[in-house]
Each structure stands twice: as structure tokens, then as C-alpha cells.
Amino acid sequence: MSSNNKSTPGQRFRDAVASEHPLQVVGAINANHALLAKRAGFKAIYLSGGGVAAGSLGVPDLGITGLDDVLTDVRRITDVCDLPLLVDVDTGFGSSAFNVARTVKSMIKFGAAAIHIEDQVGAKRCGHRPNKEIVSQQEMVDRIKAAVDARTDDSFVIMARTDALAVEGLESALERAAACIEAGADMVFPEAITELEMYKLFAARVKAPILANITEFGSTPLYTTEQLKSANVSLVLYPLSAFRAMNKAAENVYTAIRRDGTQQNVIDTMQTRMELYDRIDYHTFEQKLDALFAAKK
């Protein structure tokens, strides 16, 4: 079943990385946001594990979600949006190579373009929280090998995320990244980087595309694409930016309606009905329905 077809999601992701320097990858919390991201001109999108936990399940990002929770959101996004989707699969959703293999095969089947898998222990934490624990380098290498071996499509991208910087320091993180590339990973995601120059070190050591996670309110400064380009970063991730804004907007609307007894004071913060219909291509669907009714008469 091996494929290097240009039309595969994985190949589209690789092409996007090759064509935009650095590639901006923006988080889409649901299918609607995937369409909005495409409309804004992004060439690739992202599904955050923390986003699935908080957004779809209303629970913390502490290893509570399972593979099926993430697959549900992956399928909904890939069903309506053809932008290549990078998916956060945490530690692979299970303790063995068989779990990692199942995760990879399922992600390909559900239309994802790429995954990142990390070296935290099973009871994982958000990468920007204290007291993270990581598995041994050998165990992480085994996760990568299991993921690579399980690929049913050669173009599907396997990205190695390491949380070692905050736990064991820079040299350990660099060593792990290099070991993961040697084990077959395509790209590297060093998490919770604190200095711009560190990205250059990763790029030089692994000679593979490096992802910078520019998440708000975390350990990493909000570097610009120009700054990251100068540090040889290939991909820039904004995992939850729209999600944070959407949550704040929703809270403001709920508070106003409850307080004022009307939504009149927050109407200007809302997407209009016609804007929504435009973004989800409502009228095309409606016209097909009208044509069907007309044919029946």
C-alpha cells in the first residue's frame, strides 16, 4: 500500500514545508475553524491534543483523552477541508509498539497528513507546565521506530517531539532529536524552547525540518516568522491561538446576555448569519436541495 502520490495528505504537507519558509501551521479546533484557516490563506493546519481535551471533552491535557477522541475530530476536519493536517498524538495512546502502530495506521486512514509523537511518560502534561517526566531515549527511539514501521503510506510525516529541554537540558534534547531522526523520524519538534539560538542548534544537529511551537502564555517567547527564519526554523506552530480567542469571546457573550437580559450589546462581536453561511458554503448545499425538490415536482 506504499504510496508517494502527490495527492496524499502527507505529500501535500511535505510540499507546503518545502514551499513556505517557515511554514505557518495554525491550530483549528474543529472543522469550521479548518475552513476559516484555509480562507485566511494558511497552507497547513493543526489539531492540538490539549485542544481536543479542553475543547471537545472539557478536561485538562493530562493524558485523559484517547485515540478515538482525537480521531473523531480528525475525521470531521479532513471530511471538509483538504489542507494537510498535523495531529498531536501525545505519547501514541498506549504503552506498547502495537498502540503506536495502531495510532499511525488510524491517522492515515482518517486523512491526517502528519503526526507528532513525544517522549513524555504516559501520564503526560502540557509541554509548558512544570514537573514533566520523560521516558528513556531508547524508549523514545522505539516509539519512533514503531511509528515508521507502521506507515502504510511513505509520504505520511512522522515528527518527533522532545520535552527533554525542561527536564534534562539542551544537550539531552539535541541528542534525543538526532537519535529520533536516525530512527526514521522526518522532522523534529523541540518543545518549550526558551531562546531563539536553540533552534539553530537543533537544525544544525539533525539536518531535518525543525518546528517552533509559538504558543501563547508558555515558555517560548512569541517570535516572529522573520526571527524564526533567521534561526533556520522550517515550521511555526500556533496551536491554540484562535481557540483562546473564541473562548474569551464566548465568555463575554454569555456574561453579557446574563447581565443585560439581551444580546444587543455584544452583537458587534459576532459573526453574522450571512458570514457563517458564506464560510460553510451554505448556499451551494441549499441550491442542490432546491434542484432536487424541483425535479420531484
Per the annotation, does 51 bind a ligand? no
Per the annotation, does 214 bind a ligand? yes
* Cell numbers that stand for 51 in this block: 485542544
State the virtual CA torsion across 124, 233, 206, 144 in degrees, nearest 10: 30
Catalytic residue among 73, 90, 119, 163: 90
Per the annotation, does 154 bind a ligand? no
Per the annotation, does 90 bind a ligand? yes
* Distance in angstroms (rounded) separating the CA atoms of residues 101 and 161: 17
* Distance in angstroms (rounded) separating the CA atoms of residues 100 and 149: 10
Per the annotation, does 180 bind a ligand? no
Catalytic residue among 12, 33, 61, 186: 61
Q: Which residues pair with 23 in a beta bridge?
A: 235
* Distance in angstroms (rounded) separating the CA atoms of residues 99 and 1: 20
Catalytic residue among 14, 119, 126, 199: 126
For the residues of 155-202, what is the DSSP string, one character each?
TSEEEEEE-HHHHH-HHHHHHHHHHHHHTT-SEEEE-S---HHHHHHH
Q: Which residues pair with 236 in a beta bridge?
A: 24, 212
Decide if 118 is catalytic: yes
Per the annotation, does 181 bind a ligand? no
Catalytic residue among 73, 88, 119, 163: 88
Catalytic residue among 12, 81, 118, 125: 118
Per the annotation, does 213 bind a ligand? yes
Decide if 216 is catalytic: no
Catalytic residue among 161, 163, 186, 199: 161
Per the annotation, does 41 bind a ligand? no
Quick check: 235 and 212 in contact, CB under 8 A? yes
Q: Which residues pair with 159 in a beta bridge?
A: 116, 187
Catalytic residue among 186, 199, 213, 238: 213
Those residues with Cβ within 8 angstroms of residue 279's Cβ, 6 or more apart along the chain or in another chain:
32, 35, 36, 39, 271
Per the annotation, does 50 bind a ligand? yes
Catalytic residue among 32, 33, 191, 223: 191
Per the annotation, does 81 bind a ligand? no
Decide if 182 is catalytic: no
Decide if 116 is catalytic: yes
Catalytic residue among 14, 33, 116, 151: 116
Per the annotation, does 92 bind a ligand? no
Cα of first residue to Cα of last residue in the chain, in angstroms, is: 47
Per the annotation, does 261 bind a ligand? no
Catalytic residue among 12, 46, 151, 199: 46
Decide if 46 is catalytic: yes
Put residue 41 in one of left, alpha, beta given phi > 0 → left and psi -120 to 50 → alpha: left
Q: Within 13 Å and on the Cβ side, how many CA atoms surround 149?
A: 13
Decide if 61 is catalytic: yes
Residue ranges at the known binding site for substrate = 48-50, 126-127, 161, 191, 213-215, 244, 273
Residue ranges at the known binding site = 48-50, 88, 90, 126-127, 161, 191, 213-215, 244, 273
Show which residues are catalytic. 46, 61, 88, 90, 116, 118, 126, 161, 191, 213
Residue ranges at the known binding site for Mg(2+) = 88, 90
